[in-house]
Structure 1
Amino acid sequence: MSSSAPQRQFDLAELDTYMAAFLTGDAAGAVHRSLLSGGLSQMTVVYRTEERDADRTVVVRVPPEVGPLEPYEPVVEATLLEAMAELGVPVPRVVLVEADREHVGRAFYATDFISATMTAEADLSDPEEARTVAGAFLDLLVSVHEAPVDAMTVRGTLHDILGHIPAKTPLGVLDRWDAVLERTDIAVPAYHAFLSRWLRARCPDAAEQEVVVHGDFRLANVLWNDQPGSVAAMMDWEEAGLGDPMYDLAWLLMGSFADDDKVFGLATRREFIDGYAERTGRPVDPLRLLWWEVATGWSLLAMNGRATGLVAEGSYHDLRPMLYGYMNRRIAHTLLRKVTAHEDLLASAPLMS
């Protein structure tokens, strides 16, 4: 937490009352509440009301008081969603923003519920359907990166909204997570310390192009309509910031290494890289991409380390980071292979045409 002043504790019963008043006009109105499982950070609550004339369902996002992705700024996240929607990016429609934490103990926002499907890993037996979904996934990524950061919306420019958020630039990412680990009372593994040193030694310059970076661009954060390849919405924007578009591409490729490795069960690593380059009209620098793949994987390890430290302190109670040890070992092994690939490519660079 950024302040030692006492804060009001979050009260789920008060949220029930607040949402009943919002949905029905009566704080004692009948609403149904259910919790959705999701990522490591925010609590996602679905509220539904059934009335004679209409029924309505909304999704409420409530950040934790303390967590691995601090500081949490739900009002900024909601404002970004409103701006991105105006710019044509498919996102949930914001219906409520409550900035005053005194109501329920936290600031929060709500969006309309979207009836759609989500999957973390596609299981598509039809190659043509897989290509369609992979293409739509890439189109979505490009639409995020091509959102004009200086275009005026009803909520201001994207630069106005995200300008104070830690930048998704090479130094911005390294400085953020180094600082996070410095205040976390855990001993990081030797390979993590090595990756930190290597990333600093090979840190590239900031990208010429500054874009909106989603920050967690993966298949599990996309909602799909029934028609194959039809995107309903991109979810979970809490890690968004301004920075290098390679961050998002690297994040989605994090677990892959060989050109023919399948990514999310949709397409090969090479197809994703080539597809992104084709859609943007800009070649993907293999050295820069490899650096970002190591950096994003390292940041995921740092995030889980921070979460584990908070659990040990007793201020955070999601145990999933402690259960990710086996996955972290696999990711760490892949990252070290990417370090070697980067060094090999760098060594051969003078001979490259």
Structure 2
Amino acid sequence: MDLSPPAVGQAVAEVFDGVDAVPRVERLDRGFSWVTLAVDDVIVRVAPQGGSLDPYDPEVEAANLRRVEGVVPAPAVLAVQPDADNPIGRPFGVHTRMPGGVLRLDDVTEQRSKYIAAAAQALGKLHDLTAPMTVAEAFDAELSHTEAVYRRAAPNRHPEFEAALDWLRSHRPDCDDPAVWCHGDFRFANLSWIGPGELGGILDWERAWPGDPMCDVAFTRRFSGWCSIEDSTDYGRPLDQERLEYAARFERVRSFTASMRAIRAWLDGRSHDPRLLTIGRRGEEAMQTELAWAAD
């Protein structure tokens, strides 16, 4: 992967005529997934060789972004390069840059309620976008996908994970409500803010899927800390407690595939980032205790 300004400028210019030949390039990502670059006035999302969300496909994220255009504030797709045969050496997507910026916890000690309300309202608007299947069908499809990822990525067998999948299948809500488009990673770190309660954009759409809206709500409670949706006041939709309890377990199971893919990328030599190995090991250790409910 060549992230030098000349290589990035040439690669982007081949698919999008909107950057300098030798552009200003700033790396924005601090996580374990896409390589995110600010290139002049646009965002370039580069697929890594390996990581916690393998396989990486910029066309998938582009399709998700196009689907929510005009529904919620999100980046617009400017171009997609699905092949690695380019000066960067990896597939990438070019998106608009969202106004505002991602904030830290210390940045929002005041007027916190405004941020929480705006986040809940945005998620409620997203969940107005229905998908052509029922909630039950969406769960079945995603559970099959999750098992396929496990079979491909897990370095070892995990009986507790397999038991959890069986439990989720046998307890799956028999809900014929229309599925909605879920973000799949809706947390404060993936929101860009212009000011208190002024949402600039929702970022990182690679995990979006058609599913149960309660899954996004449960995800905020598990992974978004204080910025979680606790009632329907600002969210604007009824909360089903039984489905929320199921969704919380579903999201926890699904999250473990990230640690599996991280350690697989390390073991296969596609990434040499030691943080991926750490993520993988911690995930394997956590499964033994956090999925104990599957044996009840």
TM-score, normalised via structure 2 length: 0.82
RMSD: 3.2
1:33 is aligned to 25
The 1:322/1:101 distance shift into structure 2, 3 A limit, reads closer
Distance 2:283 2:36 in 1: 24
Distance 1:185 1:297 in 2: 16
1:96 is aligned to 79
Matches within 5 A, 1:1-353: 10-12=1-3, 14-19=7-12, 22-24=17-19, 29-48=21-40, 57-85=41-69, 87-99=70-82, 101-104=84-87, 105-119=89-103, 121=105, 124-126=108-110, 129-147=111-129, 149=131, 169-226=138-195, 228-254=196-222, 264-266=225-227, 272-275=229-232, 279-280=236-237, 282=238, 284-324=239-279, 325=281, 333=289, 336=292
Give the deviation of 1:317 after TM superposition: 3.4
Are the counterparts in 2 of residues 124 and 265 from structure 1 also a CA contact under 8 Å? no
Task: Give the partner amino acid of 2:113.
Answer: R
Distance 2:99 2:77 in 1: 15
Larger radius of gyration: 1
Task: Give the partner amino acid of 1:17.
Answer: Q
Are the counterparts in 2 of residues 293 and 335 from structure 1 also a CA contact under 8 Å? no
Are the counterparts in 2 of residues 169 and 206 from structure 1 also a CA contact under 8 Å? no
Task: Give the partner amino acid of 1:231.
Answer: L
The 1:291/1:317 distance shift into structure 2, 3 A limit, reads farther
Give the deviation of 1:322 after TM superposition: 2.9
Task: Give the partner amino acid of 1:218.
Answer: R
Give the deviation of 1:190 after TM superposition: 4.9
1:351 is aligned to none
Give the deviation of 1:331 after TM superposition: 8.2
Are the counterparts in 2 of residues 142 and 276 from structure 1 also a CA contact under 8 Å? no
Give the deviation of 1:328 after TM superposition: 7.3
Task: Give the partner amino acid of 2:45.
Answer: R
TM-score, normalised via structure 1 length: 0.70
Task: Give the partner amino acid of 1:320.
Answer: R
1:259 is aligned to none
1:347 is aligned to none
Please, which runs of 5 or more residues in structure 1 have no aligned partner? 1-9, 49-56, 150-158, 256-262, 344-353
SS of 1:183's equivalent in the other structure is: helix
Distance 2:148 2:283 in 1: 24
Distance 2:289 2:112 in 1: 28
Distance 1:141 1:98 in 2: 29
Deviation per CA, 1:9-42: give whole Å up to 9, x if none.
Answer: x5445333233673356xxx33122222244321
Task: Give the partner amino acid of 2:68.
Answer: M
Bigger relative contact order (CA 8 A; separation at least 6): 2
Distance 2:112 2:55 in 1: 37
Q: How many residues align?
A: 288
Please, which runs of 5 or more residues in structure 2 have no aligned partner? none
Distance 1:327 1:305 in 2: 7
Distance 1:117 1:168 in 2: 36
Are the counterparts in 1 of residues 185 and 204 from structure 2 also a CA contact under 8 Å? yes
SS of 2:18's equivalent in the other structure is: helix
1:5 is aligned to none
